[in-house]
Structure 1
Amino acid sequence: MSERKFKRIILKLSGEALAGDQGFGINPQVVEPLAQEIASLSKESGIEIAIVVGGGNIWRGLSGSAKGMDRASADYMGMIATVMNAIALQDALENAGVATRVQTAIEMQEVAEPYIRRRAIRHLEKGRIVIFAAGTGNPYFSTDTTAALRAAEIEADAILMAKKFADGVYDSDPKTNPNAVKFDELTYMDVISKELKVMDATSTTLCKDNHIPIVVFSMDIPGNITRAAKGEAIGTIVK
C-alpha cells in the first residue's frame, strides 16, 4: 500500500475499546493513554479529528443486554450509552490538553451541543476534537452508519476503524482459523459481496457512494492510531 495523507479524519472507536480487559464499563487506565495519544496527534500533526464512539461496553443491544426488548427502545438506550462514553472521552482529552466538544444527535443541552454540521466543521477548523454521540438519532442504525454519515457530512478524508484484537480484515476469523488470510487492500464491493466484517452493508455503501476510504487496524499496539492517521500503510484499507 502506498502512503496516504489525511487532513481530516473520523476515528471510530468501539465502546469495548474503553472497557479494556474488564469487558464492561469505562476503565480510566485504558481511556487516559488513549486520550493522550489522540491529543498528541491533534496538537503535533494538525490533523482535524472527529470521533464516533460506540456503547457496547455499557449496553449491548438486542444480541445482549436488550434481549426480548422492543428494537427501537433498545437502540435508544444504546444511543444514551454512547453519550456516556463520549463524555468520559471528552474529559480525558481535555485533561490531556486539547479542546473537545461533544455533539449529540439526541438533544441534551445540559451535557453536550446538538449536532450541527457547520458548527462541527468550525470546531475542527479551530483545532478542537469533536465527538459525535447518540448515533444518528434514529433506531435501526449502527454507530458504523453514524461514522459513515458524519464522514460524508464533514467531508472527512477517511474513516479509521480502530479495532480491539484485530490488526486488519481477514477472509475468515483468525481466532478459529490459523490459515486465515489478511487483506492489505479491498474494494467496497469486496466487503459487501464477501460479507466481510468491516462495517455493515449500509455503512459500506455510504462510504462507497461518497468515496470515503476505510482503514481497519489494531488499536492494541500503542501509536497505531497516530500511524494510521499520518497515512502509514498499516492494517487493511477499503477503497
Structure 2
Amino acid sequence: MSETSPSYKRILLKLSGEALMGGDAYGINRQTIWAIVAEIKGVVDLGVQVGVVIGGGNIFRGVAPAARGMDRAQADYMGMLATVMNGLALHDAMRAAGMVSRVQSALNIEQVVEPYIRAKAIRYLEQGRTVIFSGGTGNPFFTTDTAAALRGAEIGAEIVLKATKVDGIYSADPNKDPQATRYDRISFDDAIAQNLAVMDATAFALCRDQKLPINVFSIFKQGALKRVAMGEKEGTLVYC
C-alpha cells in the first residue's frame, strides 16, 4: 500500500443506536446522522468497501420502561425491529449524501428491506455500495456486537471498527477514574486478562477465533474513521 492508499479493502463498521441520538434523550438526531454519514462517505470515496451493523438502543430506550418485566425474547425482537428503523434512516441519509447503499435485515420484512443474503451482500460491496445490516443476528439473546462480529467474518472484512463515544479502550472507566490510561494497541489475550469490556464476550471470542482485529474509536472525532481506514494511529487496536 502507498502512503495515500487505505490500509483496508473491506471493513465492518459497528454503530450503536445511541450514536444516532446526538444530545437528545432518544430517537435520531438529524445533524448527528448527517455527520456520521459524511464520515462514512469519506472512507467510501477512498475505495474502501463498507458494511455497517447498526444498533437500536436509541429507539428502544424510549420504550424500555414499558418493556420491563417483558419476556426477554420478545423484548429482543423489539430491539431488532428498532435496528431496522435505524437502518432505514441511515440509508435515507446516505441517499441524500449521494451514496448508494442497501439495507439488509436478518428478520424477514421484505416489503421494507431486503433479507440478509451473504452472497448478495458481498456482491453489493464489490460494486462499491455500502451495505447496512439490520435486525441483529435475527435471534434473541444476541447483541448487535455479536451481529457485527458475525457479519464481519461472513463478508470477509479485514477489521471490525467499533464506533463509540470514547476515543479508545482505557484501563478503567475514564469518566470515573482520572488515572485511567488509554491503550494504543492491546492483544486479545491481554484484554481478556484485564477484563476490559471491549465487546460482549460472544462477539469478542468470535473475533479472536476468526483472527479479526477490532479498532475502537470515537465516531464523534472528525476524520477518525478515515484515519483508521488509512492505517493511522486512532483509538485502540485489538490484535491477535
TM range (shorter): over 0.9
Structure 2: stretches of 5+ with no match in the other structure: none
Instruction: Please give the alpha-carbon distance, in whole angstroms, between the structure 1 residues aligned to 2:111 and 2:188.
Output: 39
Aligned partner of residue 212 in structure 2, secondary structure: coil
- The structural deviation recorded for 1:226 is 1.3
Q: What displacement does 1:40 show?
A: 2.8
For structure 1, which segment, 141-150 or 186-195, has the greater mean C-alpha deviation from structure 2 after superposition?
Answer: 186-195
Number of the residue aligned with 2:225: 225
- CA offset digits 1:71-116 (Å, max 9, x no partner): 1001000000000000000000111111100000000111111000
Structure 1: 5+ residue runs without aligned partners?
none
CA deviation after TM superposition for structure 1 residue 65, in Å: 5.7
**Alignment size in residue pairs:** 235
Structure 2 distance, partners of 1:61, 1:134, is 18
Matched residue, 2:77: 76
Distance 1:222 1:211 in 2: 28
> Is 2:216 aligned against 1:216?
yes
**1:83-102 paired onto structure 2 within 5 Å:** 83-102=84-103
Q: Matches of 1:150 and 1:117 in 2, distance apart? A: 9
Q: 1:67 offset after TM fit, Å?
A: 2.0
Structure 1 segment 33-112 matched on structure 2, within 5 A = 33-43=35-45, 45-60=46-61, 66-112=67-113
Contact 2:28/2:58 (CA < 8 Å) preserved in 1? yes
The equivalent of 1:29 in structure 2 is 31
Higher mean alpha-carbon deviation, 175-184 vs 59-68, is at 59-68
Q: Which residue of 1 aligns with 2:20?
A: 18
Q: CA deviation at 1:12?
A: 0.6
- Once residues 62 and 193 of structure 1 are traced to their aligned partners in structure 2, the CA distance between those partners, rounded to angstroms, is 36
User: C-alpha separation between the residues in 2 aligned to 1:138 and 1:155?
Assistant: 22
Instruction: Give the SS at the match of 2:11.
Output: strand
Q: Structure 2 counterpart of 1:181, which letter?
A: T
The answer for the alignment partner of 1:153 in structure 2 is 154
In the alignment, does 2:188 pair up with 1:162? no
Structure-2 change in CA distance of 1:26 and 1:61 (3 Å): closer
Whole-Å Cα distance in 1 between the matches of residues 194 and 72 of structure 2? 27
Distance in 2 separating the partners of 1:95 and 1:187: 39
- The C-alpha deviation readout for 1:13-62, integer Å capped at 9, x for no partner, is 1101111001300011111121122123212x100000001101011499
Are the counterparts in 2 of residues 61 and 74 from structure 1 also a CA contact under 8 Å? no
- Kindly provide the CA deviation profile for residues 187-235 of structure 1, in whole angstroms up to 9, marking residues without a partner as x: 1122223221210111111001111000001112111111112221111
Q: TM-score, normalised by structure 2?
A: 0.94
Query: What letter corresponds to residue 198 of structure 1 in structure 2?
Result: V
Equivalent pair of 2:26/2:62 in contact (CA under 8 Å): no
Residue aligning to 1:196 = 196
- C-alpha distance in 2 between matches for 1:124 and 1:229: 16
CA distance in 2, matches of 1:220, 1:94: 21
